Structure 1
Amino acid sequence: MKIGIMGAGHIGKTLVRRLSAAGHDVKVANSRGPDTIAADVLDSGGRAVSAAEVVVDVDVVILSVPLARIPGLAPLIARLPASAVVIDTSNYYPHRDGRIDAIEAGQVESLWVAERLGRPIVKAWNSIGSDSFARKEKPQGAVGRIALSVAADRETDRTVGLALVEDTGFDAFDAGTLAESWRQQPGAPCYCTDLAREELPAALATADAARLPRRRDLAVAVIQERVGDGKTNPDAEFGVRLSRALYM
């Protein structure tokens, strides 16, 4: 498939490498220009392009940017044909994104994103820590392969999202509609807990929407105290232990 990725940060850079290695035609852009994308991000065949170019002649666009930046991408996304699949990997963190009243009042994050973009989306790759994503991929059928939730409203979007998650080295799990995707938001039992396919259904089913924000904010406070700079993500071992202790 022809895939454009907006963002080459913690998750975006691994998406570029994995999807390129899987045989997809991948181009990537960020807000600072193609010359600022590190060469190692492109070592599997991805191409660095401008933000305007990343949405040209593609089947899929993956948004891997902070949630607060997504409304600013709406003009670019509007250039896509209706048949193109848009996948969002973002999560709402008030300390980074600023307070978003609609989400604070209970709107599902992916529905807020879909409204801002004016089109359906897929929610995927948002429920795994960046270090686990970079290091814990396994081939299909391998014991202990991590499963990731995929939510979408359109069947064609869902099919593409599930297939691409598999291509990045993880079991793809159909988590239903965007309205139910709050079950994979920060603070939920499946969020950054690196669960296998057989464990994921129960984690999704036991999620408690009212408890997610407090659990999310507790995790942020612990990580900031440990790391200190507000930008560095925790390593997989610490991050998974913390998430399992707080969310499950």
Structure 2
Amino acid sequence: MPTLGIIGTGNIGAAIARLAVSAGIPVVLSNSRGPETLASLVSELGPLASAGTIEQSAAAGDIVVLSVPLTAHTAIPASLLEGKAVLDTTNYYPFRDGRVAELDEERVTTSELVLRHFQGAGLTKAFNNILAHHIPQLARPSGAPDRTALPVAGDDASAKTKVMSLIEQLGFDAVDAGPLAESWRFEPEARAYTKLYLADPATPDDRMLEAPAAPVPAERLRDALKRAEPVRVAARTF
């Protein structure tokens, strides 16, 4: 069974790790603080999980999940992910990351900016448009009538195929959302961002982190992607 390397074990990275081991996929976890800080999560995940350095996680992964804050990605040597299929969950949050002129001016998408650093990687964008607590709520076995779809954007066809297959194994249908240049369609505040997966779309922002999810089939996701309108990134405050 191919191994999943996970760099960054916050809410999204940990949620992906839990789905992976449930699907029988070995994971090698890493973060910026060192493998000893991951003992509790490794114990929870069981024998398919281990912790290592970022270098070890990158080397072990047939696919590598990159789930770190935007400003942290440049601290990771680009050579570690060269030739790797990378699943990038990065979002740009000005309140956390500060202002980034290229993103505010909409010259590039967030993952295009990340790829500029990891030029040798097959980078795809996914799992950035769903709240972490909705991931286990919405994962379903293959063929389930209420299976939820997630978008996947990327420029490297081979890497995108690998990541879409992984997403299917993790319990979601994968929808090809085009190249990275089109990934704005499911970035913050866009139509295919997190509110799409809320059971009640009218949920106030301050209650979203506790709000239940509802399945989003592939056709509904495709419609949201198609109907998405560009977000004025410079006007965003979160």
Q: TM-score range by the shorter chain?
A: 0.7 to 0.9
Cα pair 2:4 2:25 within 8 Å, conserved: yes
Residue type matched to 2:185 in 1? R
Shift of 1:200: 0.9
Cα pair 2:87 2:123 within 8 Å, conserved: yes
Residue type matched to 2:224 in 1? A
Partner of 1:99: 99
Partner of 1:4: 5
Partner of 1:224: none
Cα pair 2:125 2:154 within 8 Å, conserved: yes
Q: How has the CA–CA distance of structure 1 residues 62 and 211 changed in structure 2, closer, same or farther, with 3 Å as cutoff? A: same
Aligned: 1:198 with 2:219: yes
Q: Runs of 4+ in structure 1 displaced over 6 angstroms?
A: none
Alignment of 1:162-173 (within 5 A): 162-173=164-175
Q: Distance in 2 between matches of 1:80 and 1:110?
A: 14
Shift of 1:139: 1.2
Q: Distance in 1 between matches of 2:154 and 2:103?
A: 19
Residue type matched to 1:89 in 2? T
Shift of 1:20: 2.1
Residue type matched to 1:62 in 2? V
Partner of 2:200: none
Q: Distance in 1 between matches of 2:28 and 2:81?
A: 15
Q: Deviations over 1:213-242 (max 9, x none)?
A: 65x54xx4xxxxxxxxxxxxxxxxxxxxxx
Shift of 1:2: 2.0
Q: Distance in 1 between matches of 2:61 and 2:45?
A: 21
Q: Which segments of 5 or more consecutive residues in structure 1 lack a partner in the other structure?
A: 221-248
Q: How has the CA–CA distance of structure 1 residues 211 and 109 changed in structure 2, closer, same or farther, with 3 Å as cutoff? A: same
Partner of 1:51: 54
Residue type matched to 2:70 in 1? L
Equivalent in 70, 73, 87 of residue 70 of structure 1: 73
Residue type matched to 1:86 in 2? V
Alignment of 1:131-142 (within 5 A): 131-142=133-144
Alignment of 1:178-193 (within 5 A): 178-192=180-194, 193=196
Q: Distance in 2 between matches of 1:212 and 1:141?
A: 37
Q: Which segments of 5 or more consecutive residues in structure 2 lack a partner in the other structure?
A: 198-215
Aligned: 1:61 with 2:71: no
Aligned: 1:34 with 2:35: yes
Shift of 1:212: 5.8
Q: Distance in 1 between matches of 2:188 and 2:82?
A: 31
Shift of 1:144: 2.5
Greater RCO structure (CA 8 Å; 6+ sep): 2
Aligned: 1:147 with 2:149: yes
User: Which moved further from structure 2: 184-193 or 42-51?
Assistant: 42-51
Shift of 1:25: 2.4
Q: How has the CA–CA distance of structure 1 residues 63 and 143 changed in structure 2, closer, same or farther, with 3 Å as cutoff? A: same
Q: How has the CA–CA distance of structure 1 residues 62 and 29 changed in structure 2, closer, same or farther, with 3 Å as cutoff? A: same
RMSD: 1.8
Q: How has the CA–CA distance of structure 1 residues 39 and 183 changed in structure 2, closer, same or farther, with 3 Å as cutoff? A: same
Shift of 1:90: 1.0
User: 1:198 is paired with a residue of what secondary structure?
Assistant: helix
Give the fraction of aligned pairs with identical amino acids, expressed as a percent.
37
User: Which moved further from structure 2: 98-107 or 30-39?
Assistant: 30-39
Shift of 1:81: 4.5
